[in-house]
Structure 1
Amino acid sequence: MSVVVLTDSSARLPAGLRDTWAIREVPLHILLDGADLRDGVDEIPADIYHCHATTAAATPAELDAAYRQALADSDGDGVVAVHISSGLSGTHRAAELTAAGIGPAVRVVDSKSAAMGTGFVVLAAARAAAAGSDLDAVARAAQEAVGRTYAFMVVPRLDNLRRSGRIGGAKAWLGTALSLKPVLRIDDAGRLVLAQRVRTVKHAMAAMIDRVCEVVGDGPAAVAVHHVANSGGAAEVTAGLAQRLPACEPAIVTDLGPVLAVHVGAGAVAVCLHVDE
């Protein structure tokens, strides 16, 4: 067999990519009105970002079952599990504890990112596994990809961020004027932090595009654009990036998913990228 690569539903990997690279997925959870809803499994309200919902990590039981099945299917070659940043979710810690209970054949990698920021790390591992690399090499491919992955986001409204506990250093700026349109980034520690304060959404989107282009430069990079109920904004950002980054392949465009939407709210647009060596 070969090493099996696994992630969680926050990675926002399109189904076609998951199928092509044989990537497995465990669900994160949304807690709403006493119900425990599994992302990607259960029906979740389309406007979940307007609800007073909370999110939860994948459960130890789910992780244990997924890891043990993947290990069995690998014929002992091993499992590499890449999860959402430990700075944003408890999933990584639960994954480490679960893997420790199974043994060294299950390796857990902290993507230090979210959405396709995690997805690009997962893809790096999956490509190494498909090429026949052993467990150490597949885990190393994932770890190396972490350092070449970046994520930025524009959030038009601050309501969801105020309710969220996932924003690093938020107290210094969340209390400012409601007209503030923050450009956020995921830092090297995997935390969502303020990158820039802009007064209009239009200027914030332009500032995010500028920051992405600064990171990419003239070389190739894999790019993904996500949104929460803002397909028009995502299309504008995608077009702007395509014009300024001709060396890059067309961006993957998907919604940000319900788990992340709960924390950032409607209108958010995010860009994740993986820069080649």
Structure 2
Amino acid sequence: MSKVAVLADSGCQIEIQGDHPGIYIAPLTITMNNKTYLDQLEIQSLDVFKAMEQDEKLMVQTSQPSTGELVKTLEQIKADGYDEVIGIPIATGLSSTLNGMKVAADMVGLPITLVDSKGTAREQRELVLTAHSLLEKGKQIDEVVPVLEDMIAHSGTIIMVPNLEHLKRGGRITPAVARLAGLLKIVPVMELNYELGGKIDSLAKVRTLKKATRKLADRAIEKGANAANYKFAIEHVLCEESALELKAYLESKIGACDVLVRELPAVVGAHMGIGGVGLQFVKSEG
């Protein structure tokens, strides 16, 4: 029977230096002021967001783990006695990490099965933890992958971005769209389109932050998320008050639920900008 490790990137918010045998995390990269940092190892999300808060024109660039870091991680997996790998990277619509994992695994000579998370943050984290749990119970890769795919099919990410400047700088939207939204005082609500590998897609345009925030919860409920079968995350960029208001609204609609409130991963929050809020819902295993 093969010994299988789980490989992810730091977008899943599992600590790279934490004690979690069988789970390996490669750091995404963040570049600010012409200096590149390894996510979680050399810089944390709050460091990035506070720098953005101090300098509104700061350009933050993000990218997949380098081939060198992926090879280093996979070599460690091999040295630890694993024969195969399940790779669960950040959404292909947001990053090329999936392809990078495949290239690095080929270089190291480890068979790898790749599952596009089509998301990041808590959704990706739950996929990683579920895969690891099933492997620990003796499940084989061909038994684990369908469980993960079902979770992905019943999960979602909806975001609200008060200021489109950072999305414009990162090339996620055109300058014309950003300018028009600013002139009309529109607060866009978007979601990750899972049919497109997790690319950012427009959902609604509302006039107030309160309406935009509530739209996140309404959309999750519309798509079937509930307190009994789902876990939630409300993640933000230096706007905890808005995140907590969203949590209260969500619970007023569906009752007490498993909901985590925390900051977004730097590689996502850097493009959403200060005030950005995301709501994730992920179906529990089974």
TM-score in terms of structure 1 length? 0.88
1:156 aligned partner:
162
How big is the shift at 1:257?
A: 2.4
Paired residues of 2:28 and 2:39 also in contact (CA < 8 A): yes
1:28 aligned partner:
28
1:1-277 maps to which residues of 2 (within 5 A)? 2-13=3-14, 15=15, 19=19, 22-43=22-43, 44-49=47-52, 50=56, 51-76=58-83, 78-103=84-109, 105-166=111-172, 173-178=177-182, 179-188=185-194, 189=196, 190-218=198-226, 219-246=228-255, 249-276=257-284
Paired residues of 1:4 and 1:71 also in contact (CA < 8 A): no
What amino acid maps onto 1:257 in structure 2? P
Partners of 1:200 and 1:85 lie apart in 2 by: 29
Partners of 1:111 and 1:166 lie apart in 2 by: 20
Q: Deviations over 1:60-97 (max 9, x none)?
A: 11111112222332442x21111111111121221122
Alignment size in residue pairs? 271
Partners of 1:213 and 1:45 lie apart in 2 by: 32
What amino acid maps onto 1:259 in structure 2? V
What amino acid maps onto 1:176 in structure 2? L
Deviates more, 1:210-219 or 1:155-164: 210-219
TM-score in terms of structure 2 length? 0.85
How big is the shift at 1:6?
A: 2.0
Q: Deviations over 1:211-255 (max 9, x none)?
A: 111123554211111000011111111122222223x63201220
Partners of 1:86 and 1:165 lie apart in 2 by: 16
Partners of 1:177 and 1:136 lie apart in 2 by: 46
Three-state SS of the structure 1 residue aligned to 2:145 is: helix
CA RMSD, aligned part only? Answer: 2.4
Partners of 2:110 and 2:23 lie apart in 1 by: 20
What amino acid maps onto 2:251 in structure 1? A
Partners of 1:19 and 1:57 lie apart in 2 by: 23
Identity %: 26
How big is the shift at 1:154?
A: 0.7
Partners of 1:143 and 1:100 lie apart in 2 by: 24
Three-state SS of the structure 2 residue aligned to 1:25 is: strand
> Which blocks of at least 5 consecutive residues in structure 2 are unaligned?
none
> Which blocks of at least 5 consecutive residues in structure 1 are unaligned?
none
Deviates more, 1:153-162 or 1:124-133: 124-133
Closer, same or farther: CA 274–121 of 1 in aligned 2, 3 Å: same
What amino acid maps onto 1:271 in structure 2? L
Three-state SS of the structure 2 residue aligned to 1:80 is: strand
Partners of 2:217 and 2:176 lie apart in 1 by: 25
Three-state SS of the structure 1 residue aligned to 2:30 is: strand
Paired residues of 2:237 and 2:269 also in contact (CA < 8 A): yes
Closer, same or farther: CA 75–257 of 1 in aligned 2, 3 Å: closer
Partners of 2:229 and 2:146 lie apart in 1 by: 22
Partners of 1:225 and 1:137 lie apart in 2 by: 30
Closer, same or farther: CA 264–237 of 1 in aligned 2, 3 Å: same
Three-state SS of the structure 1 residue aligned to 2:219 is: helix
